[in-house]
């Protein structure tokens, strides 16, 4: 397998693009919704299941706002020097972590932004489930 191209500082090329980071975060968020759907079945009580989904939705909403806000800020501050996690060893100065944390927070924020409506939709599905269905719980 051929090594990836790097620039003079050893940073992998091509640099990260906002579109790619957002799409990957959305894909991770979709996977997180599927894991949440399977995980909610482990919570057996109806009220407990609703509470679990409501809490996940709330944390996802707040997490999405915070991560996207700070991620966009750090991405803007880093300018054109945006790096991947695997480029951590190329950081030389005190402020270098900003170049990695911007994209990481944007990806995490997108994950949470997709998870929020997924958790809320699952909450509504459990809330509207018939009493004797497996979605209702015990």
The token duo for 7 is 């620039």
pLDDT 10s digits, 74-123 = 999 998 888 888 888 888 888 889 999 999 999 999 999 999 999 999 99
pTM, rounded to two decimals = 0.90
Cβ count near 135 (within 10 Å): 15
How far apart are alpha carbons 33 and 115 in whole angstroms?
A: 6
The token duo for 136 is 């209702």
pLDDT 10s digits, 35-71 = 999 999 999 999 999 999 999 999 999 999 999 999 9
Which residues, 6 or more positions from 100, have their beta carbon under 8 angstroms from its beta carbon?
Answer: 83, 84, 85, 87, 88, 91
């Amino acid at each position: 397998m051929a090594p990836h191209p790097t620039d003079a500082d050893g940073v992998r090329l091509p640099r990260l693009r906002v579109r790619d980071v957002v799409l990957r975060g959305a894909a991770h968020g979709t996977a997180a919704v599927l894991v949440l759907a399977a995980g909610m079945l482990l919570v057996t009580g109806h009220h407990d299941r609703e509470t679990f989904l409501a809490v996940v939705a709330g944390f996802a909403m707040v997490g999405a706002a915070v991560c996207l806000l700070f991620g966009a800020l750090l991405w803007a501050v880093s300018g054109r020097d945006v790096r991947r996690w695997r480029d951590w060893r190329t950081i030389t100065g005190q402020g270098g972590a900003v170049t990695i944390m911007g994209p990481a927070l944007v990806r995490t924020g997108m994950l949470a932004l997709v998870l929020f409506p997924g958790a809320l939709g699952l909450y509504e599905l459990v809330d509207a489930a018939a009493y004797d269905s497996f979605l209702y719980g015990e």
